[in-house]
A and B are shown apart, each in its own frame.
Chain A
Amino acid sequence: MSTATPTLTDAAVDITDLTVRFESKRSRTTAVTNVSLRAEPGEFVTIVGPSGCGKSTLLKVVAGLVPPTGGAVSLLGRAVRRPQQDIGFVFQRPALLEWRSVRKNILLQAEMRGLDRSAAARRADELIELTGLTGFEKALPHELSGGMQQRVALCRALLHQPPVLLMDEPFGALDALTREQLNTELNRIWRDTGTTVLLVTHSIAEAVFLGTRVEVMSPRPGRIVRTFPVDIPPERDYAQVMSDERFDRLATQIRGLLGAGANH
């Protein structure tokens, strides 16, 4: 299980002056520059920006998968130097093992970590029920729809009850209806588990609907241009939020900002 015991003063995620550059023989790209971001425990921070603005890189740095070029990153009060284990990661593609059933895909998390089997199995069953996968435990990934595959990926990311959940455009490949449904479910799961979420998206509606705070990034090299607190209560209903005038106002502001920042 996770060894994290964040104290009250520790942020779940703390990024200060982060710069990431990728260098190859032929080119040198700055993915993100001077990004500072702090997520308190239990917060749901959404990061919205145009494609290729380094949003995904930001998450990978937090996970310890990409080393920062400059600046500091800490997770639960400890500096990030190597791949972090106190996190759950959901990618845009489900990245499931196609030879494993739904249940066994979820349990991969426990096997790789060497967690207690029976506890993990119980937790997996809970998550299967929570995400509406009941009845599909033994199905193979190719037998499921994209939305259901992504639910499996979400269960896998939550199995070890990570204090921080990183999501990289998790619903980007889904159709609009499925996306709305999963947004509603994710909102409920976040409230149920109390985990800190960092979610990257290029959908303004998704960012505002899910976030307690929206960070807007500029095109590459990515910077955070503005932070918008979302003062809509955490328990959110899709239809209600969409017709809420606070939602409208925020979405319009963000859209204006992204439109102004874009080069095209």
Chain B
Amino acid sequence: MPQRAADRSADPVTDDQPGAAPAAALSTGGSSAGDGSRPVAGLGTRLARLLDALWRPALLLAALFAGWWFVAEREYMPNYLVPTPGQVWETMTEDWSFLMRNTYVTLYETVLGFVLAALLGLGTAILIVYSRTMEKAVYPVVLFAQVIPKIAIAPLLVAWFGVGLTPKIVLAVLIAFFPVVISGVAGLRSTDPELLDLSATMGAGPWKTFRKIRFPNALPHLMSGLKVAVTLAVVGAVVGEFVGAEEGLGYVLLVANGNLDAALLFADLFLMSLIGIVLFAVVEIAEALLIPWHASRRGGVPLATS
């Protein structure tokens, strides 16, 4: 983005003078690397950037919304199939506490499933990377588990664990587990072999090498995997609710469908998507906090490129 590049490269330090360059960078202050501070854009600039990023998708969404409104209001499609935005809004406000209670259930299943999948997935990735035996034993099984259609085993899980929260959480874990393992393995394997050599000559043990080199190095990969996993976890929880449940957004969806209550169905769909979006945003924010140094997260140009 041109304007970003412009305010970050206020004083590009491109030469290699040992004494002169740092001094020059310091004296121009502000956005040099010298004081380590990133150039902080003013609130106005940041707002402008946010608007710049948002107006296109916002316009598209507004157009879609207008189209929906038009079709529903004019009843080109019957309202029991496509409700008007007004009807959806009405249902949303009237059934607010009912919808919130069920949203909470699905959110709970999703978050718990995601967290468990993240922990189990990372653990499995570590086993695979550190042990040849485990790699040979575990990797094919993980792959095999992935190709089983999870939706197909949902009834089995309900039969095993009943209609409570457990089968939904298990399903969310099963669906979200795979991307975590794959990204974790890729991340842990991406360590520069020279860094591992270096670590050996520093006399560091495997735990220290993991903590200070391998794990932080794996974070960018891992975060991508977690972003995929969190959206999949929602799918897992909802599918679990489809098969057998007494509460949750998936259950509400079935009920609404059975009653041809399109307004409730739409309201329910909005809330499901909202869960996905909010959770994705949370992981995205975690990523921004954890790996601000990574290339994927920095907009500016390097201070010195030569």
Q: CB distance A185 to B18 under 8 Å?
A: yes
B16 touches A65 (CB 8 A): no
Distance to closest chain A CB from B271 (angstroms): 37
Residues of B close to A101: CB separation below 8 A:
36
Which of B44-52, B101-109, B195-203, B261-269 participates in binding chain A? B195-203
B302 vs chain A, min Cβ distance (A): 5
A98 and B192 in contact, given A112-B199, A145-B14 (Cβ under 8 angstroms): no
B288 within 8 Å of A (CB atoms): no
Which of B19, B208, B293 lies at the interface centre, i.e. has the most chain A CB atoms within 10 A of its CB?
A: B293
CA distance A175 to B302 in the complex (A): 18
Q: How large is the interface on B (under 10, 10 to 19, 20 to 34, 35 or more residues)?
A: 35 or more
Selected contact of A133 from candidates B22, B204, B217, B302, CB within 8 Å: B22
Query: Is B291 an interface residue, CB under 8 A from the partner?
Result: yes
A112-142 Cβ-contact flags toward B at 8 Å (1 or 0):
1100000000000000000111111111101
In the bound complex, residues from chain A placing their C-beta under 8 Å from that of B15 are 145
Q: Among B13, B197, B217, which residue has its beta carbon within 8 angstroms of that of A65?
A: B197
State A3–B209 Cα separation when bound (angstroms): 22
List B contacts of A142 (CB < 8 A): 293, 295, 298, 302
Within 8 A of A (CB), among B161-217: 192, 194-195, 197-204, 208-209, 212-213, 216-217
Q: Give the CA-CA distance A4 to B174 in the complex, in Å.
A: 54
The residues in B between 8 and 37 inclusive whose CB is less than 8 angstroms from any CB of A are 13-19, 21-23, 25-26, 32-36
Contact partner of B16 among A109, A140, A145, CB < 8 A? A145
Pick the contact of A95: B17, B25, B192 (CB < 8 A): B192
Query: Is B256 on the interface with A (CB-CB < 8 A)?
Result: no
Which stretch, A21-29, A81-89, A250-258, touches the partner chain B? A81-89
B192, A147: Cβ atoms closer than 8 Å: no
Interface of A is mostly: loop
Shortest Cβ distance from A131 into B: residue: B18
| Bound Cα distance from A85 to B204, whole angstroms | 10
The answer to whether the Cβ of A17 comes within 8 Å of any Cβ in the partner chain is: no
Q: Flag whether A236 is at the interface (Cβ < 8 A).
A: no
Interface centre among B17, B33, B192, B209 (most CB of A within 10 A): B33
Q: Which of B25, B195, B201 is in CB contact (< 8 Å) with A97? A: B195
With the chains together, A148 CA to B293 CA distance in Å? 18
Contacting pair A148 B304 (CB below 8 A): yes
Contact B22 A89 (CB under 8 A): no
- B201 and A135 contact, CB distance less than 8 A: no
Does A108 reach chain B (CB closer than 8 Å)? yes
CB–CB B306/A112 < 8 A:
no
A60 and B197 alpha carbons, distance in the complex (Å): 9
Cβ A93 vs Cβ B34 within 8 A: no
- In this complex, what residue of B is CB-closest to A181? B16
Q: How far is it, in angstroms, between the C-alpha of A53 and the C-alpha of B134 when the chains are bound? A: 37
**Is the Cβ of B33 less than 8 Å from the Cβ of A112?**
no
B3 within 8 A of A: no
Query: Residues of B contacting A139 with CB < 8 Å?
Result: 33-34, 36, 303
A178 to B16, CA, bound (A): 7
Question: Is B291 in contact with A99, judged by CB distance below 8 angstroms?
Answer: yes
A131, A132, A146: residue with the most chain B Cβ atoms closer than 10 Å: A132
Tell me if A91 is interfacial: C-beta within 8 Å of chain B: yes
Are A136 and B16 in touch, CB under 8 angstroms?
Answer: no
**Contact A83–B200 (Cβ < 8 Å):** yes
Given known pairs A89-B198, A95-B198, A112-B208, the reply for A146 and B306 (CB within 8 Å) is yes
> Which residues of chain B have C-beta atoms less than 8 A from A134's C-beta?
22
Q: Which residues of the partner chain A approach B298 to less than 8 Å between Cβ atoms?
A: 142
Task: Indicate whether A143 reaches chain B with its CB closer than 8 angstroms.
Answer: yes
Does the CB pair A177–B194 fall under 8 Å? no
Indicate whether A132 sits within 8 Å of B19 (C-beta atoms), given known contacts A63-B201, A87-B201, A137-B36. yes
B294: chain A residues within 8 A (beta carbon) = 98-99
Contacts of A87 on B, CB cut-off 8 Å?
Answer: 201
Residue A235, interface by CB 8 Å: no
Is A79 an interface residue, CB under 8 A from the partner? Answer: no
Query: Nearest Cβ distance between residue A22 and chain B, in whole angstroms?
Result: 15
> What separation, in Å, do the CA atoms of A91 and B197 have in the docked complex?
10
CA distance A84 to B198 in the complex (A): 10
The verdict on B97 contacting chain A, using a C-beta distance below 8 Å, is: no
Rank and list the top 6 A-B pairs by shortest CB-CB distance, nearest first: A138-B36, A132-B18, A135-B22, A139-B33, A112-B202, A83-B200
**Known contacts A135-B22, A142-B293, A185-B18; can you find 17 more A-B pairs with CB under 8 A?**
A60-B197, A64-B200, A83-B197, A89-B201, A91-B194, A97-B195, A97-B216, A97-B217, A108-B212, A112-B203, A113-B203, A134-B22, A136-B33, A143-B303, A145-B305, A147-B306, A178-B16
Question: Interface of B with A (CB < 8 Å)?
Answer: 13-19, 21-23, 25-26, 32-36, 192, 194-195, 197-204, 208-209, 212-213, 216-217, 291, 293-295, 298, 302-306
Q: Can you list 13 pairs linking A and B with CB atoms under 8 Å apart?
A: A60-B197, A64-B201, A99-B216, A99-B293, A112-B212, A113-B202, A132-B17, A135-B32, A145-B304, A147-B306, A178-B306, A181-B18, A185-B18
